Amino acid sequence: MTPLLDIVPFARTLGIEFTSVTAESAVAVLPDQPALHNHVGGPHAGAMFTLGESASGAIVIAAFGEHLGRVTPLAVRAQIGYSKLAMGAMTASATLSRPPAEVVAELDAGQRPEFDVAITLVNAEGVSTGEMTVTWTLRPNR
């Protein structure tokens, strides 16, 4: 997904690849790269966080891209839990918590909507190594 990599060059810096992006879900992959390893030989927690946040951002761009002339999407807060030692390539699968039309309706009503994106982090074998939630808002441009 070139537009996201143009908007957020840090994702490109880490080598994140997007394999699927829709307005409801996104899948992003962080290839196994020794330069991104931590002290136990797996991907650094910061790289895994960036993978998940990037997958969530891809959904936001896909779902609300047509509104970027009037809003700026911003991550408000994020929570991540690591449940198993991650090794090798990692995949983040993200899902939008609310229908985009519902979020846009709040925006049109003069509200500043917030919505969550849930992310599951899995290793190359498909074993879950963590869960993450990123809460986003659409800030009206003034």
Is residue 2's pLDDT more than 50?
no
Which residues have C-beta within 8 Å of that of residue 84, sequence separation ≥ 6?
123, 127, 128, 129, 130
pLDDT tens by residue, 31-65: 999 999 999 999 999 999 999 999 999 999 999 99
* Full-model pTM: 0.93
Distance from chain centroid for Cα 47: 12
Q: How big is the chain by its Cα radius of gyration, in Å?
A: 15
The pair of three-digit structure tokens given for residue 106, joined into one six-digit string: 């709040």
